[in-house]
Structure 1
Amino acid sequence: MVTRTSSGAASDVLDVVLYGTHVAEVRRGREPHRLDWTWTADAAARWGVGARVVGHAAPVGEPGARLHDLRAGVVVAGLLPEGQARLHYAVNAGIDPDDTFAMLRRYGRDTAGALDFVPRTGRPGDPAAEPVPLGDAQVRELLERAGSSRRDGGLTSISLAGLVPKIALRRAADGSWWQPPPGIPSTWILKVAHPVGSDAADVVDTEAACLDLGRRVGVTTVQAEVIEVDGLRAIAVSRYDRMPDGRSGVARLHQEDLAQALGLNTADPARKFQRGRTIPSWRAASDVIRAGRGRLSPLARLVAFSWLVGNSDHHAKNTSFLRHADGRVDVAPAYDVAAHLHHPGAHRTALDLAGESDFDALTVAHVVDEVASWGVPGDAARAAVVDVVTDLTDALARIDRGRHPGVTPGAWTVLDDRVARAAGELGLRS
C-alpha cells in the first residue's frame, strides 16, 4: 500500500511512486524546465540515503532534502518526448511544450521505467479500471495523432521519450490491442514506419530483423514485428521494462537511459551523440554499471553486436540500464537497434569506439580496445567480442529471412559480410 503526505494543493503536487514506495514530491520549479523535487522519508527508509534506485544522477536524499531543480528537470525531461514529438503531445493536450511540470502531470502515469507521477488527487492505479479494446482504425488514429498537432483532448496518460512519434498499448494473447487507463502499465510500443519510397522506409524492417538476431545472440529479450493497422505500416515492440505479475498482471521494472544517468540535457538532440565530447561515451556507460556493482560483460556484448549489425544510431537515449528494487543495476536489453550501413553515404557511430567514429575505419580491434578501456582485462575483452561474432554467425545462418520480407538482399549481404570480416580478423573459422 502506498502512503503519501498531504501538503500542497492537489493541482500543484505530483507524488512520485517507485516500486510501491512514495519516493518524492514534485512541484513546479522556478523556470519551466526546472522542477522542485523533494525526497520523502519513505525513500530513505527503504533504500537508504545515497541509493541510486531512482537514477544515477538522482541519489536518494535525506527526508525533506531537494534534488537540484535543474538536475531534476533534466532527469525528468528524459522521460518525455523530444523535438516535434513533444510539440505534438503538448498541442494535443493544450500544454506549453516547455512546461515540464504540465507535461509530466498530463503524461506521467506510464513513463519509461517504473516511476509513476501521480496527481495528488489520483491513485497509483485504480484496480477497478480496465483497458479498453481498440480496433485497427482506432490504433491508426492514435498513431496519427501522436505525429500531428491536433488539440482534441490529448493522447493518453503515457509518456515515451524520443524524437519518433509512438504510442504504448497493451496486447492480448490473441494479438488484439487495448488502451490502458491512467496508472495501468502498457506492455507494447508502436511506432509508425517511414513513408514507402523514402530512404528510411526499411528501418522498421531491419529493426525487427536485428532484434530477432539479438534475441538469438542473447543481447535482448524484446519481441518485434512489422505490422499494418488499417493500412498504416508500423513496428510493434514489447516493453522490456514490463514484467508479468501474478497479482496485478503487469509489473513495472525501473530503467533509465544513459543521457538521464549522466544528467545530459537532450533538448538539443545532438547531445545524445558523442561527436568529439568526453560524454556521452561507452566508458561513461561502463562507469554507471560499475557504480551499481553490475556486470560489464553484457555491455561489452551489446556494443559488439550493435557495431556488427551496423547500428549507427546507438546514442545515449538508445542505451539504458535496469534499476531493480533491490538496488542491482544491469544493462538493459537492446532496443531501437537497426542496420543502416546498406544505405548510401558516410556513416558514423553515435558513440566512439576507442576514439574512432567512422564505420569504414572501424575494425574488431577498436571494439576490443574500447571494452578494455573500461578496465576489462584484454583477454576478457577479446573473448566477449569473439563470443558475439560466433553467436551472430550462427544466428545469421539460422534466422528465417522470409519472416523479414522488408529487409532487402543488399541489407542481408552487408550484415553477412561484416560478420564474416570480423570473424576473419579474429582468426575464426567460417
Structure 2
Amino acid sequence: MPLCRARPITLTASQRRRLKQIAYSHTAPYQYVIRVRIILDAGHGYSNTRIAQRRGVSVDTVRLWRGRYNSDDGLKSLADRPRSGRPPTFTPVQRAEIKALACRLPAETGVPLSQWSCSEPAAETLARGIAVAISASTVRRILADDAIKPWQHQSWIFIRDPQFAAKATRVLDLYAHLWDGEPLGDDEYVISADEKTSIQARCRCHPTLPPGKSRMMRVNHDDERGGALAYLAACDIHQAHVMGRCSPKTGIVPFTELIDQVMTAEPYASAKRVFWIVDNGSSHRGKAAANRLATRYPNAVMVHTPVHGSWINQIEIFFSIVQRKVVSPNDFTSLDQIEDRLIAFERRYNATARPFRWKFTPADLEDLLARIERHEQKESNLQHEHDHQPAALDAMA
C-alpha cells in the first residue's frame, strides 16, 4: 500500500514573516503559538514525526493542524472553531426573576435581613419555586450580568439647603479671589477654619514596633485611654499658612480664642477685610456667629458653607493630612504629647506648604447640581414604578 504523505505547505515571504512574529510573541495564547510553530516547521519541510519531537506534541496534533492550515484563510484556520457549549440551565424568565428578587430590599419580601448576600437570594429562589436547584455562585454569576451587587451599600444624602448653590458659589468665588463679582485686593485675605474634635490619647500597652525586613509597622491593639482634645485650625488658603491651637473641648469660647489668635496678628489685624469660611458647626453657626465676629472685628466677614457642604471648606483637606500623618496610628502617652506633636507638625507644614490646587469651580457646581437633579428625578420615577408594579414575586411565594 502506498504510504500517506504529509501535506506539503509552501509559505510566502510575507506569510513566514507574520507567522514568525506570532511564534515569538510573549502575549499570544500558548496553544496558538504552538500551532504557528508547527506550520513554520512544516514550511521548512520537516516531517510530522520530527515536528512532534521539536514541539513536544503528538503526531496526531501535528497532522491535525498541518491538515487544517489553509494558506488562503491564513491564521484564521489556526483559531479554535466555535463551540456550542452546554445549554443554559436557567431560562431568561428565571434569570429575570432572580435579578428582580435581588433588586428588592429584604424587608419588602419579609426576610429579616438588612441586605442580601448570594446565599440568601439562592435560598429565597428555591422557597419561591423559581428554580428547582441553584447555588450561591450561580446567583452571583447571574447578578454579575447586570453588575448587581445587593451585598454592597453606599451612603448618600439629599441637599436640604434651599440656598445651596448661592452659598457654595460665594465660597468658590473667594477661592478664585472674587467677592460679589469684584476681585479681592492685596490687603484682603481668605481664612478657612474649623475644629478637629476628639483626638484621643491612646497609650498602647506594648510599644509600637518599627517596620523591618518583610514586616510592616506593628501597633498593639490593647490601649489605655488618656482623654481627648480638640485641634482648632485656621488656614490662609492663598498664603498656605496654618494657625492652630489645642483645646480641651470645642465651643464658642475656644473658637473665639482661635479668631483672636489670627485677627490680632499681622497682616490680618490691619487688613481691609478678612473672610472666614466656616461650616455650620455649633460654635460658629448662623447669623449670630457672624454678628459676633463682625462686632469683635469689624474687618472680618464670616461666610458659611451650605448645610452638608463642609467638603467645600479647604481646612478639611488639611485635617485629612493631619489624620494621616500625625494622628494615625494613634499611640500617644498623654494629651500633652498630642498637643506638642500637632504644633510641631504645624510649623513643619508651614515651612513647605503651598496653596491647594482647588479645581472645583462654579461651573462644576452647576454640573453637579444638574446631575443630582436628574438622579433625584430618576429615583422618584423608580420609586413610583416600584409602588405600582404588580406583586408578581409575592404571589409566587
Normalised by the length of structure 2, the TM-score is 0.19
TM-score, normalised via structure 1 length: 0.18
Higher strand share: 1
Higher helix share: 2
